[in-house]
């Protein structure tokens, strides 16, 4: 049986694959250090779990409206008002099975065959595949380390064509941790204002940011874009709730309605008790975030300093999220374990084969000479893993 044509470009998420491989080796008793984690290593705060348990006991175990409960939508509206100074009504909100699902619904609702979506690289692995699945064409603009991994207004302007339907902004970014400043967002917004391009702002790492920086929403910075902007966010990263699968989108009513219809014909509502947990996350105490960020920050500084002390590796300081994205370009061409390190794929394989360290190759993110290391893992693990990477790099000839 032939698979549908749309499957041609689709691959399994490589970040989840690295994590799975490391876990499989671990299960065989191999002492693997995994830097692949795409989720906080903290446990979901107890008051959030208690809300789900209460919901279970109270029998809140049936279908809810497909687009989410009214109380959770109201809490999301309140979050936008409080954190972003944005006024949305519940009809402009969709609750999904994770932010990923909101993004998926956006592309399904918006794209006709051939519609272009501009994606700055390095990008989150799922964007191009989700665009392909909807029949669209991803158009990649690359911002390297020299640009701080951030595109400029000029780069964006030069990439927009009559076929451009949307532009994806992800700040702070997975995989680079780069965060756009207010001024940079203003510059991007100026370009968008002169066009009809829709902006999709993935703000999932909004609260995971360091050095007293603030992650601004492009819609807050440029309210003129509100009618053609969709903000995507969720509780996965901020509240260590990746397994609960609750994300949300805010945008123009007719787009949200279309996304809700897609959801009603595919998944129906996100899990009822997880919605109660997300409600507790958004409306309850927020001190957990500071505790988590303080620890992430300590690991971030340590990891960046150690990486920069390894000859041939260069690592920029990420502003947010929980990843470092060092360049290994200077190591390319070296010999290790009888093989030439041609790119990050080869380097990642070399690390796994020789010192049992799992990292994600940047090729999955559109950056073939970088690797992604997550610091959502214990400090001791980071020390051990970087020691091993250093040893492996020093062994290169
Ligand atoms: C983790 C992640 C998501 C998806 O989060 P879920 O809410 O768990 O689906 C979306 N975008 C980026 C950039 C991410 O890193």
- Inter-residue contact 78 to 87 (CB < 8 Å): no
Q: How confident is the model at residue 246 (pLDDT cuts 50, 70, 90)?
A: very high
CATH number reported for the structural domain that contains residue 148 in this entry: 3.40.640.10
pLDDT of residue 24: 87
Q: What is the pLDDT of residues 296-335, one digit of tens each?
A: 999 999 999 999 999 999 999 999 999 999 999 999 999 9
The residue to which tokens 């988590």 are assigned: 292
Domain identity same for 124 and 97: yes
Residues linked to residue 41 through DSSP beta bridges, in sequence order: none
Q: How confident is the model at residue 15 (pLDDT cuts 50, 70, 90)?
A: low
Indicate if the pLDDT at residue 20 is higher than 90.
no
pLDDT of residue 21: 77
Indicate if the pLDDT at residue 276 is higher than 90.
yes
Domain identity same for 314 and 272: no
Domain identity same for 163 and 23: no
| Residue 303 Cα to ligand 1 middle (Å) | 23
Would 183 be classed as within a structural domain?
yes
**What value does the mean pLDDT take over residues 70-88?**
98
Q: How confident is the model at residue 22 (pLDDT cuts 50, 70, 90)?
A: confident
- Strand runs labelled E in 161-316: 164-170, 198-202, 229-234, 247-250
Domain identity same for 175 and 319: no
Mutate to test the pocket of ligand 1, among 204, 209, 241 (most ligand atoms within 8 A of CB): 204
* Residues whose CB falls within 8 Å of the CB of residue 88, separated by 6 or more in sequence, listed in order: 76, 77, 80, 81, 250
Domain holding 275, by residue range, is 62-283
3 state SS of 337: coil
d(CA 149, CA 147): 5
Tell me whether the omega of the peptide bond preceding residue 122 falls within 30 degrees of 0, making it cis.
yes
Residues linked to residue 358 through DSSP beta bridges, in sequence order: 34
**What value does the mean pLDDT take over residues 228-254?**
98
| Residue 123 Cα to ligand 1 middle (Å) | 12
**What value does the mean pLDDT take over residues 82-88?**
98
Q: How confident is the model at residue 7 (pLDDT cuts 50, 70, 90)?
A: confident
Tokens of 38: 């795409």
Would 198 be classed as within a structural domain?
yes
Mutate to test the pocket of ligand 1, among 38, 100, 230 (most ligand atoms within 8 A of CB): 100
Element (H or E) spanning 109, and its range? helix 99-110
Q: Average model confidence (pLDDT) for the chain? A: 96
Domain identity same for 245 and 131: yes
Indicate if the pLDDT at residue 14 is higher than 80.
no
Sign of the C-alpha dihedral, residues 180, 183, 184, 190?
A: positive
Domain identity same for 278 and 293: no
- Rounded to a whole number, what is the distance in angstroms from the first to the last CA of the chain? 48
d(CA 82, CA 108): 30
**What value does the mean pLDDT take over residues 245-273?**
98
Would 51 be classed as within a structural domain?
no
Residues linked to residue 99 through DSSP beta bridges, in sequence order: none
- Burial class from Cβ neighbours inside 10 Å (0-12, 13-18, 19+) for residue 344 reads buried
Helices 379-394 and 287-308 sit at what angle, rounded to 10 degrees? 20
Element (H or E) spanning 121, and its range? strand 116-121
Domain identity same for 230 and 111: yes
| Residue 242 Cα to ligand 1 middle (Å) | 8
Higher pLDDT, 27 or 19: 27
| Residue 233 Cα to ligand 1 middle (Å) | 8
pLDDT of residue 117: 98
Would 205 be classed as within a structural domain?
yes
d(CA 230, CA 245): 19
Protein residues whose CB sits closer than 6 Å to any atom of ligand 1: 38, 98-100, 124, 170, 174, 202, 204, 234, 236-237, 242, 247
Indicate if the pLDDT at residue 37 is higher than 90.
no
The residue to which tokens 């109380």 are assigned: 71
Which of 7-16, 155-164, 171-180 shows the lowest mean pLDDT across its residues? 7-16
Tell me whether the omega of the peptide bond preceding residue 362 falls within 30 degrees of 0, making it cis.
no
- Percent of the chain whose predicted confidence (pLDDT) is above 70: 98
pLDDT of residue 9: 81
Kindly report the pTM of this predicted structure: 0.96
* Residues whose CB falls within 8 Å of the CB of residue 146, separated by 6 or more in sequence, listed in order: none
Q: How confident is the model at residue 47 (pLDDT cuts 50, 70, 90)?
A: very high
Domain identity same for 185 and 69: yes
Q: Which of 283, 307, 323 is the last residue of a domain?
A: 283
Domain identity same for 299 and 244: no
pLDDT of residue 1: 85
Mutate to test the pocket of ligand 1, among 174, 207, 374, 376 (most ligand atoms within 8 A of CB): 174
Domain identity same for 154 and 274: yes
DSSP-derived secondary structure for 61-105:
-S---TT--HHHHHHHHHHHHHHH-----GGGEEEESSHHHHHHH
- Inter-residue contact 353 to 359 (CB < 8 Å): no
CATH number reported for the structural domain that contains residue 337 in this entry: 3.90.1150.10
Q: What is the pLDDT of residues 57-67, one digit of tens each?
A: 999 999 999 99
Q: Which of 239, 260, 283 is the last residue of a domain?
A: 283
pLDDT of residue 53: 98
Work out the number of other CB atoms within 10 angstroms of the CB of residue 302: 15
Give the ligand 1 atom nearest the CA of 100.
Answer: 9
Q: Which of 283, 302, 330 is the last residue of a domain?
A: 283
Domain identity same for 174 and 81: yes
Sign of the C-alpha dihedral, residues 130, 131, 132, 134?
A: positive
Indicate if the pLDDT at residue 342 is higher than 70.
yes
Domain count, the chain: 2
Domain identity same for 38 and 165: no
**Nearest C-alpha neighbor of 237 from the set 213, 214, 209:** 209
d(CA 38, CA 228): 29
**What value does the mean pLDDT take over residues 253-282?**
98
């Amino acid at each position: 049986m032939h698979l549908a044509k749309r499957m041609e470009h689709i691959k399994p998420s490589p970040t989840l694959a690295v994590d799975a491989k490391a876990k499989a080796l671990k299960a065989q008793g191999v002492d693997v250090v995994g830097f692949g984690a795409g989720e906080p290593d903290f446990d979901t705060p107890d008051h959030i779990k208690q809300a789900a348990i209460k919901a279970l006991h109270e029998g809140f175990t049936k279908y809810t409206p497909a687009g989410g409960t009214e109380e959770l939508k109201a809490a999301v509206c309140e979050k936008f008002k409080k954190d972003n100074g944005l006024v949305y009504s519940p009809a402009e909100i969709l609750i999904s099975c994770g932010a990923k699902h909101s993004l998926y619904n956006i592309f399904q609702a918006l794209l006709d065959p051939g519609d272009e979506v501009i994606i700055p690289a390095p990008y989150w692995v799922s964007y191009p595949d989700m665009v392909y699945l909807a029949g669209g064409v991803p158009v990649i603009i690359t911002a390297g380390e020299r640009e701080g991994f951030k595109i400029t207004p000029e780069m964006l302007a030069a990439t927009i064509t009559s076929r451009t339907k949307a532009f994806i902004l992800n700040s702070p970014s997975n995989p680079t941790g780069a965060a756009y400043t207010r001024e940079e967002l203003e510059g991007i917004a100026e370009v968008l204002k002169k066009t009809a391009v829709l902006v999709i702002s993935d703000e999932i790492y909004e609260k995971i940011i360091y050095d007293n920086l603030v992650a601004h929403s492009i819609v807050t910075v440029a309210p003129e874009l509100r009618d053609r902007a969709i903000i995507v966010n969720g509780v996965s990263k901020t509240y260590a709730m990746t397994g609960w699968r609750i994300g949300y989108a805010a945008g123009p009513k007719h787009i949200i309605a279309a996304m809700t219809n897609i959801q009603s014909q595919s998944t129906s509502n996100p899990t009822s008790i997880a919605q109660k947990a997300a409600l507790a996350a958004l409306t309850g105490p927020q001190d957990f975030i500071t505790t988590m960020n303080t620890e992430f920050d300590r690991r971030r500084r340590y990891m960046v300093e150690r990486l920069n002390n390894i000859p041939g590796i260069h690592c920029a300081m990420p502003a947010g999220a929980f990843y470092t994205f060092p360049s290994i370009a200077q190591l390319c061409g070296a010999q290790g374990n009888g093989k030439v390190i041609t790119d990050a794929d080869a380097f990642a394989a070399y690390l796994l084969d020789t010192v049992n360290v799992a990292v994600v190759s940047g090729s999955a993110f559109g950056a073939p000479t970088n690797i992604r290391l997550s610091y959502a893992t214990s400090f001791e693990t980071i020390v051990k893993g970087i020691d091993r990477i250093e040893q492996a790099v020093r062994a290169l000839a």
